[in-house]
């Protein structure tokens, strides 16, 4: 029966591989005796590679354990292919003379049934053979992958990498690995990456949600039904309960603007995010409450929605900080927005902090490289990452507990981008 099957495969290879190509081969037009010889040679040699494929296929069917060969274009003899297969539990069992189940139990758990000598024997063999466990296979068998998926919008500046550093440190301490994906602030990429992480049977997901209005929430409802632990960082999912780690944005904005009012500033502009996120709303509320505490009602022109690109023109900001009734200070909702304000004001000939004081939010490394260095509200970014892993592990252990919300308070870091107002305004 097997031989009949092999003959069928040989015939099929001939009909579908060699014959069509041979019949469709075009003979070069011979215009000289030399070309005629070339044409005849082409007809005779053209099917040789296909004949070799068919022959090798038939040999493989008859002798499946024979070594692989390489067909070269030169006259050198084909060499055996050195293919190194990954070491498996069976290899360790054969090397130690123990059963497969014994080796598996010792390498995957601290099973007390086995003696220290037997355990050491297996571990020595695993090290000698350079064995690495197949985590994907373990996940498919229901043992859990111990891989935490992290969805991050952008890695081009230090805000997200500093949080991820905390995630990696806490994950490593817990015996977990991190699988990192970027969403590039696109909702369709976010949904696709979530599906990818679910395909990899991740232990849980930590994500930085995109701050846009969502057209479809099916992906998160499906994620909830799957009972994969989910923790949101930096911004919560609107109208969707999850564990959350973030910054006390209201307290941070209130503290920053209060500091400017203590320096004598009253006309304080706010450079805000251009979205409608919860982070923007809370920081805007803190900004307004700090001004209300000194009896200042901010003008609508003081609120400036910043662009996404730092190279975008800042005409509205420059206009707000120019003239006799101009703003003397700026509260920027992030250090990157403060950098944009630096660039816009400097291009207009304004000097920081002599003409305008600026306070940022975040405590990024980029703000400390400015001249003068930026006064900012420093967020505990690594602490946010560590807290996110702690919440995820706790959710995995207690999947039915109520959702938890952790807010870390930022700290004011005073640098050279702010100074007291020489003549405080009473307006």
Same domain flag for 102 and 199: no
Within-domain flag for 141: no
Within-domain flag for 67: no
What's the gap between Cα 394 and its chain centre? 22
Q: If pLDDT is split at 50, 70 and 90, which confidence band does 110 have?
A: confident
User: Residue range 66-86: average pLDDT?
Assistant: 49
Same domain flag for 258 and 365: yes
Same domain flag for 218 and 273: no
Last residue of one domain, picked from the residues 25, 44, 62: 62
Q: If pLDDT is split at 50, 70 and 90, which confidence band does 4 have?
A: low
Same domain flag for 365 and 291: yes
The strand order across the sheet containing 375-378 reads 303-305, 268-272, 329-332, 357-362, 375-378, 411-413
Q: What is the pLDDT of residue 75?
A: 39
Q: What is the pLDDT of residue 135?
A: 53
The strand order across the sheet containing 204-207 reads 177-182, 147-152, 204-207, 230-233, 243-247, 405-408
Same domain flag for 107 and 37: no
CA distance 69 to 81: 6
Q: Which residues pair with 233 in a beta bridge?
A: 245
Same domain flag for 370 and 257: yes
User: Residue range 35-51: average pLDDT?
Assistant: 49
Q: What is the pLDDT of residue 74?
A: 41
When divided into structural domains, the chain yields a total of: 4
Last residue of one domain, picked from the residues 133, 166, 190: 133
Could you tell me if 60 and 12 are in contact, meaning their C-beta atoms sit under 8 angstroms apart?
no
Same domain flag for 243 and 320: no
Same domain flag for 229 and 343: no
249 token code pair: 């944005």
Does residue 178 or residue 319 have the better pLDDT?
178
Q: Choose from 6-15, 90-99, 127-136, 327-336 the range with maximum mean pLDDT.
A: 327-336
Same domain flag for 210 and 159: yes
Q: Is the pLDDT of residue 303 over 50?
A: yes
Within-domain flag for 32: yes
Within-domain flag for 110: yes
Same domain flag for 261 and 375: yes
Quote the domain boundaries for residue 311: 249-379
Within-domain flag for 424: no
Q: What is the pLDDT of residue 311?
A: 67
DSSP symbols for 153-211: S--SSSHHHHHHHHHHHHHHHTT-EEEEEE-TT-HHHHHHHHHHHHHTT-SEEEE----
Q: Is the pLDDT of residue 208 over 90?
A: yes
Same domain flag for 263 and 275: yes
Q: Which of 37-51, 144-158, 208-222 has the lowest mean pLDDT?
A: 37-51
Q: What is the pLDDT of residue 277?
A: 86
pLDDT tens, residue by residue, 120-139? 999 998 888 888 765 555 54
Q: What is the pLDDT of residue 81?
A: 43
Within-domain flag for 232: yes
Q: Domain of 203: which CATH number? A: 3.40.50.2300
Within-domain flag for 69: no
Q: What share of the chain has pLDDT > 90, as a percent?
A: 44
Q: What is the pLDDT of residue 140?
A: 47
Q: What is the DSSP letter of 150?
A: E
CA distance 38 to 208: 66
Output the pTM of the full model.
Answer: 0.67
Q: Is the pLDDT of residue 364 over 80?
A: yes
Within-domain flag for 422: no
Same domain flag for 175 and 190: yes
């Amino acid at each position: 029966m097997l031989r009949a099957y092999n003959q069928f495969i040989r015939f099929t290879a001939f009909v579908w591989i060699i014959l069509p190509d041979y019949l469709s081969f075009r003979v070069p037009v011979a215009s000289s005796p030399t070309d005629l010889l070339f044409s005849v040679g082409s007809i005779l040699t053209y099917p040789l590679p296909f004949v070799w494929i068919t022959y090798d296929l038939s040999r493989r069917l008859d002798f499946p354990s024979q070594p692989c060969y390489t067909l070269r274009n030169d006259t050198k003899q084909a060499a055996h292919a050195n293919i190194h297969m990954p070491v498996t539990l069976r290899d360790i069992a054969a090397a130690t003379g123990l059963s497969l189940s014994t080796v598996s139990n010792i390498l995957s758990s601290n099973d007390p049934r086995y003696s220290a000598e037997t355990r050491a024997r297996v571990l020595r063999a695993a090290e000698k053979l350079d064995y690495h466990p197949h985590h994907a296979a373990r996940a498919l068998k229901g043992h859990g992958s111990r891989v935490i998926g992290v969805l991050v919008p952008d890695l081009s500046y230090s805000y997200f990498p500093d949080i991820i550093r905390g995630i990696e440190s806490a994950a490593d301490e817990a015996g977990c690995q991190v699988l990192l994906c970027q969403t590039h602030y696109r909702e369709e990429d976010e949904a696709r990456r979530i599906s990818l992480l679910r395909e990899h049977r991740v232990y849980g997901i930590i994500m930085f949600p995109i701050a846009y209005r969502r057209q479809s929430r099916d992906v998160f409802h499906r994620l909830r039904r799957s009972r994969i632990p989910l923790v949101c960082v930096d911004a919560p999912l609107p109208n969707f309960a999850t564990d959350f780690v973030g910054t006390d944005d209201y307290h941070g904005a209130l503290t920053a603007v209060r500091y400017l009012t203590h320096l004598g500033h009253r006309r304080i502009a706010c450079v805000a995010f251009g979205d409608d996120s919860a982070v923007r709303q809370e920081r805007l509320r803190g900004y307004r409450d700090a001004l209300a505490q000194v009896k200042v009602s901010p003008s609508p022109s003081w609120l400036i929605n910043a662009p996404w690109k730092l190279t975008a023109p800042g005409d509205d900001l420059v206009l707000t900080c120019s003239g006799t009734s101009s703003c003397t200070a700026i509260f920027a909702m992030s250090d990157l927005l403060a950098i944009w304000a630096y660039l816009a004001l400097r291009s207009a000939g304004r000097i920081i902090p002599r003409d305008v004081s600026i306070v940022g939010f975040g405590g990024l490394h980029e703000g400390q490289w400015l001249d003068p260095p930026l006064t900012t509200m420093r967020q505990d970014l690594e602490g946010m990452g560590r807290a996110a892993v702690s919440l995820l592990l706790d959710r995995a252990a207690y999947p039915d507990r109520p959702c938890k919300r952790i807010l870390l308070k930022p700290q004011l870091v005073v640098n050279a981008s702010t100074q007291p107002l020489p003549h405080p305004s009473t307006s």
